[in-house]
Amino acid sequence: MVQIPRWQYIFALVVVLLGLVYVSPNFFSRSTMEEMPGWLPQEQVNLGLDLRGGSYLLLQVDVDSVFQEQLEGIVDVVRSELRRGRVGYTGLGRSGNSVVFTLTDPGQTGQARDLLRPYLNDATLRIDDTGAGTISLSDAAMAERRTRVLQQSIEIIRRRIDETGTREPSIQRQGEDRVLVQLPGVDDPERVKELIGRTAKLSFHLTDESVLPGSDAIPAGSEVLEGDQVAPNGQPVRYVVRKRVLLSGDNLVDAQPTFQQGAPVVSFRLDSIGAARFADVTRSNVGRPFAIVLDDKVISAPVIREPILGGSGVISGSFTVQQAQDLALLLRAGALPAALKVLEERSVGPGLGEDSIRAGETASVIGFVAVIVFMCAAYGLFGIFASAALLLNLVILMGAMSALQATLTLPGIAGIVLTIGMAVDANVLIFERMREEVRQGRGPVSAIDVGYRKALSAIVDSNLTTLIAGLLLFNFGSGPIKGFAVTLSLGIITSMFTAIMLTRIMVVFWLRQRRPQALPI
């Protein structure tokens, strides 16, 4: 162990140099770094949301409602088609992920198949001998649909967040039906949450004036919807609205907040198809009210005074300026394909983040100094070697964090402090073993040799067990805890290198220079 092959010297030198090169960007401001030559690494340590402030949102996309809607549509088709073809049926309805019905006359099976076939798309129809029919969505089709809904949701969320001017948002799919949104530096998470949480499904409908909202006999093609305003009796105003969609938000090409007679409104522009349809509808319904519906709520129900031919219009309602701005933003970005639910939210204000960084720095520096003082007091010159290795360990660890662009969190700083304590453990093991060998009468060279060799298996075993725990933590943990697992695991690896290889090189170098008669330990 006192004979060190040349490749080990070279390897150690290369690792230390790489550590220094990669850690260096952290000591300069970003603007200074940009002026440096391009081949130098420029990555700084990535601070987690708990240190830089910001919001972490875990959202669930309600994909099931999309499937239920699709099945509901199939039920409607089956009802109207079988009725049109005069095929008798009973028990039509949804059951799990399929639509079920029973033909009253099993002999009409072929006829039913022909009627339904054009509407099936990616669903499969089965009718058995007794006339029991099922239409089910195939697993592959559902998986594909799920992926598409998630991709769309992510796209819409991204557009909405971009509109708010947030820098460096991260929006990722997670698992089957979840989206993880990370927004560094956002200090008003409520507004963002409100923006991305709304489906923003806009549609224009004619109102049904034949009945009152309180009536028991609402026609099949109409429904009662609540409005935004509140009636004098404290209840929301209700409207009877025809289900048929005249125009939907998909036809919008632009929406902007503006003012009309001093009140905030949203003006919109339609695409050519939408404009043509809007012109038709307004021309044939002058004098009648139509409802502007957003997420199943009537925003307003103005009366059509004259045909609107230019393809642009204004949505008025009882908006505040902020509400008008948000609505315009939502309409521009488009509707979400399914509703979103917030499963988890963590927001940290910038003040707390700064305090945490300061606290972490103070604790690390004091811990580091205390460990160095102890090591020097306990092992003298060898303690100085161990301390130098410890400092290089921190350099390499931070260099690795920067190079890998791993995220540093507050628990991550705790992981570094823990690493500081654990890194010298290896040296304690080696030095104590050397003392023991010296006591048993070995000379310096032999004591050093045996000390490193015999301590090695215990060091490797004990570090590997901690690494096992670290990797499991990384696998299961989220956000800040992952940060702890990262610094702990990286720290164990780098400390094995510095505490064993680097101190050994230092000790051997000293041994060759001084040729001591006894070990100062």
Partner 1 sequence: MFPLIRLFPTEPRLNILAARTWLLCLSALLLTGSLVAMGTLGLNFGVDFKGGTVVEIRTKGPANLEDLRSRLNGLGLGEITLQQFGSPTDVLINVPQQGADTDTDAQVAAIEKVKTELGDSVAEYRRTEYVGPRVGSELRQAGLLATVLAMLAIALYIWFRFEWQFAFAALLALVHDVVATVGFLSITQIQFDLATLAAVLTIAGYSINDTVVVFDRVRETMRKYKKGSVPGLLNAAVNSTLSRTTLTSLTTLIALIPLYLFGGEAINGFTAALIWGIVIGTYSTIGIAVPLIYYLGIRSDSVAVPSKQEAAKADAS
- The least CB distance from residue 22 to partner 1, in Å, is 24
Task: Rank residues 283 and 358 by Cβ distance to partner 1 and give the closer one.
Answer: 358
Residue 456, both tokens: 């090695």
The partner residues of 294 in beta bridges, in order of sequence, read 202, 297
> Cβ contacts of residue 302 below 8 Å, gap of 6+?
289, 290, 292, 316
Q: What are phi and psi of 307, to 5 degrees?
A: -60, 135
- The least CB distance from residue 471 to partner 1, in Å, is 9
Task: Rank residues 310 and 516 by Cβ distance to partner 1 and give the closer one.
Answer: 516
CA distance 261 to 462: 76
Q: In what order do the strands lie in the sheet with 98-103?
A: 89-95, 98-103, 132-137, 123-127
- The least CB distance from residue 105 to partner 1, in Å, is 45
Task: Rank residues 265 and 413 by Cβ distance to partner 1 and give the closer one.
Answer: 413
Task: Rank residues 212 and 458 by Cβ distance to partner 1 and give the closer one.
Answer: 458
DSSP symbols for 275-344: HHHHHHHHHHTTTSBEEEEETTEEEE--B--S---SSEEEE-SS--HHHHHHHHHHHHH---SS-EEEEE
Task: Rank residues 252 and 429 by Cβ distance to partner 1 and give the closer one.
Answer: 429
- The least CB distance from residue 380 to partner 1, in Å, is 5
Task: Rank residues 19 and 470 by Cβ distance to partner 1 and give the closer one.
Answer: 470
CA distance 508 to 514: 10
DSSP symbols for 148-215: HHHHHHHHHHHHHHHHTT-SS-EEEEETTTEEEEEEET-S-HHHHHHHHH----EEEEEB--SS-TT-
Task: Rank residues 235 and 475 by Cβ distance to partner 1 and give the closer one.
Answer: 475
- The least CB distance from residue 161 to partner 1, in Å, is 18
Residue 237, both tokens: 């105003």
Task: Rank residues 70 and 463 by Cβ distance to partner 1 and give the closer one.
Answer: 463
- The least CB distance from residue 417 to partner 1, in Å, is 5
Task: Rank residues 141 and 422 by Cβ distance to partner 1 and give the closer one.
Answer: 422
- The least CB distance from residue 194 to partner 1, in Å, is 8
Distances (CA, A) of 426 to 92, 237, 370, 458: 73, 74, 17, 9
CA distance 427 to 384: 11
DSSP symbols for 63-108: HHHHHHHHHHHHHHHHHHHHHHTT--EEEEEEETTEEEEEESSGGG
- The least CB distance from residue 439 to partner 1, in Å, is 7
Task: Rank residues 1 and 276 by Cβ distance to partner 1 and give the closer one.
Answer: 1
* 3-class SS string, 454-473: HHHHHHHHHHHHHHHHHHHH
222 within 8 A of 208, measured Cβ to Cβ: yes
- The least CB distance from residue 31 to partner 1, in Å, is 29
Crossing angle of helices 139-163 and 189-197, in 10° steps, is 140
- The least CB distance from residue 19 to partner 1, in Å, is 20
